């Protein structure tokens, strides 16, 4: 007699669900890292522009306006990236929560499986003992 878990299909679904949640969390974290990397690159670029501004270079009004517009555009890009980073943080924390919930659900089903297996084992042991007692009774009566 072999143990067969009654909720095996549920266990498989919960395992798959947990794997998907892990994958989703990994994707969200990778996206967040991309944003952080991009922000650092832009910050370095902005620092370079500001340091270039310190040089003793004669510029006409048009060049000054272009440089100011470009710096303004970089600042706006940084602000957008900061907002996007905030949204990415929320997505990561949400994905973590979903993963924790999936893990909890899987753990519950695994506990049910352990309980069912223990009950099955106990039943098999009881049947085995009953059979052994029957054999002992038959050999004693002869």
103-139 pLDDT, tens per residue? 999 999 999 999 999 999 999 999 999 999 988 888 8
- Number of helical H runs and strand E runs in the chain: 2, 0
Taking all residues of the chain, what is their mean pLDDT, rounded to a whole number? 90
- Structure-token pair, residue 109: 């089903």
User: 36 and 81 in contact (C-beta within 8 Å)?
Assistant: no
* Percent of residues, the chain, with pLDDT higher than 70: 94
CB-CB contact of 32 with 85 (8 Å): yes
Q: What is the pLDDT of residue 56?
A: 56
Domain annotation covers residue 9: no
Q: What is the CA radius of gyration of the chain?
A: 33
- Per-residue pLDDT, averaged over 59-87, amounts to 89
User: Global pTM?
Assistant: 0.74
CA 79 from chain centre, in angstroms, equals: 27
Domain presence at residue 61: yes
Residue 34 CB neighbours (<10 A): 12
CA–CA dist 131, 129 (Å, integer): 5
* Structure confidence at residue 55 (pLDDT): 56
Q: How confident is the model at residue 54 (pLDDT cuts 50, 70, 90)?
A: low
For residue 72, give its domain range.
20-141
Checking if the pLDDT of 142 tops 80, the result is no
Nearest to 139 by CA among 63, 122, 131: 131
DSSP classification of residue 61:
H
Place of tokens 């519950």: 108
Residue with the bigger pLDDT between 57 and 102: it is 102
CA distance 122 to 21: 36
Note whether 20 and 106 are within 8 A (CB): no
Q: Does 13 fall in a domain?
A: no
For position 58, what pLDDT does the model report? 67
Q: Residues of the chain with pLDDT > 90: what percent?
A: 65
Q: Domains in the chain: how many in total?
A: 1
Confidence check: pLDDT of 141 > 60: yes
Residue 48 within any structural domain of the chain: yes
What's the CATH code of the domain at 130? 1.10.287
């Amino acid at each position: 007699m072999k143990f067969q878990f009654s909720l095996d299909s549920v266990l498989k679904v919960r395992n798959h669900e947990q794997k998907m949640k892990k994958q989703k969390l990994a994707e969200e974290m990778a996206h967040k890292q991309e944003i952080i990397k991009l922000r650092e690159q832009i910050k370095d670029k902005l620092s370079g522009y500001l340091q270039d501004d310190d040089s003793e270079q004669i510029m006409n009004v048009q060049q000054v306006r272009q440089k100011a517009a470009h710096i303004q555009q970089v600042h706006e890009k940084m602000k957008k990236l900061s907002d996007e980073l905030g949204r990415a943080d929320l997505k990561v924390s949400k994905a973590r929560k979903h993963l924790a919930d999936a893990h909890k659900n899987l753990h519950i089903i695994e506990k049910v499986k352990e309980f069912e297996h223990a009950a099955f084992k106990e039943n098999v042991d009881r049947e085995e003992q009953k059979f052994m007692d029957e054999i002992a009774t038959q050999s004693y009566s002869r």
